[in-house]
């Protein structure tokens, strides 16, 4: 099923966030409705100094941006879709953008994580 904005299961979105560092969180769409997408947090992997890529299908057990606590049993969240390239993660405070597969910059773990 595809929703009215063109978002489909299997697509990946990412959010870049942080105050004095840059963090990247990836999300995979697992289900859609007409106007929403159900997402689950997925892992990332390094591809060089301070660059990360999504690891589809490798579910993370927690996620601070979408209020999923560790070991909650249900690791998905229904989110509003803004358009085919953007979803709202939590009350409009965080937005995730469609991932194009390119490595994204993230602050190195030795510098603030």
Q: How many residues does the chain have?
A: 113
Instruction: Kindly report, residue by residue over 40-93, the tens digit of the pLDDT.
Output: 999 999 876 789 999 999 998 888 888 766 555 667 899 999 999 999 987 678
Percent of the chain whose pLDDT exceeds 70: 87
Query: What's the whole-number mean pLDDT along residues 25-30?
Result: 96
Q: Tell me, what's the pLDDT at 98?
A: 98
More confident residue, 99 or 65: 99
8, 47, 80 from 39: Cα distances, Å: 11, 24, 10
Query: What's the whole-number mean pLDDT along residues 9-29?
Result: 94
34, 41, 48, 49, 71 from 61: Cα distances, Å: 27, 8, 24, 25, 7
Task: Decide: 23 and 17 in contact? Cβ < 8 Å.
Answer: yes
4, 22, 65, 110 from 50: Cα distances, Å: 36, 10, 21, 10
Residue 112's pLDDT band (cuts 50, 70, 90) = low
Task: Decide: 51 and 33 in contact? Cβ < 8 Å.
Answer: no
């Amino acid at each position: 099923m595809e929703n009215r904005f063109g978002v489909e299961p299997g697509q990946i979105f990412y959010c870049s966030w942080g105050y004095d560092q840059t963090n990247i969180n990836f999300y995979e769409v697992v289900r859609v409705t007409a106007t929403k997408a159900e997402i689950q947090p997925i892992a990332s992997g390094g591809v060089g100094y301070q660059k990360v890529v999504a690891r589809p299908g490798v579910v993370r057990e927690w996620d601070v941006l979408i209020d999923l606590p560790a070991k909650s049993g249900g690791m998905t969240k229904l989110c509003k879709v803004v358009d085919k390239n953007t979803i709202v993660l939590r009350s409009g405070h965080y937005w995730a953008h469609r991932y194009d597969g390119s490595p994204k910059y993230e602050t190195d773990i030795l510098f603030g994580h």
